[in-house]
Structure 1
């Protein structure tokens, strides 16, 4: 059983984001979505590359959102996968670090998607 699970809090965009993520990442799927009476997501679970992630829509407006100080780190199997994910996640988002090599990575990039979630995409050196 997974002991630590990322939990994403959205303001009315949880289902849209979940559908985007599960269509963007291979080997990903929606596990459960429970709805509030108003149609927003009460609780949802989905997987990205086998990692369970939880998400909800906030029932209240709040003065905070996601920050790049906490990101989801994805190990990519190929340079092509990294580039594809980079372009899909950066679409209507922003590039925090463009695709480049690093001392430990053959390719690396850091993007913030259209929902404000930060992603580090990595392909280790062989």
Structure 2
């Protein structure tokens, strides 16, 4: 085995929008490659056939699925962020929750100084923690 990479499948043609949103929030992050569907290919022209991006050095892959599935993202798999300050966790939570859904509102649950769990507007689940 060479490596393990988390893979996100978007079904509404918004993989590129999601990647751009994520890299705008997390420093040291970037889109590393995008291959788009062309004319007369399986997916909608211009959407993401395959892309890679990194968040703080962690590589991810994603696509805009050309097949509508009966499933989407689930909170049982989430992106876990360890924050450095109160300001950072509050800022990230506020931006990620916009248009999304709180699973555990930002607060003190006893196992960290502050913790929050949410689904963002794309349906991707995030856990944010500020360690004790």
- Within 5 A, what are the aligned runs for 1:9-28? 9-11=9-11, 12-28=13-29
- Within 5 A, what are the aligned runs for 1:1-126? 3-11=3-11, 12-37=13-38, 38-125=45-132
Instruction: State the TM-score, normalizing by the size of structure 1.
Output: 0.93
The alignment partner of 2:59 has SS state of strand
Instruction: State the TM-score, normalizing by the size of structure 2.
Output: 0.89
For structure 1, the 5+ residue unaligned runs are none
The alignment partner of 1:74 has SS state of strand
- Please provide the CA RMSD for this pair: 1.2
4+ aligned runs moved over 6 Å, structure 1: none
Deviations 1:5-46 (A, max 9, x none): 110000111111111111111221111111111111011111
Q: How many residues align?
A: 124
Q: Distance in 1 between matches of 2:6 and 2:110?
A: 28
Higher alpha-carbon deviation: 54-63 or 112-121: 54-63
For structure 2, the 5+ residue unaligned runs are 39-44
Q: Distance in 2 between matches of 1:47 and 1:18?
A: 9
Q: Distance in 2 between matches of 1:7 and 1:78?
A: 28
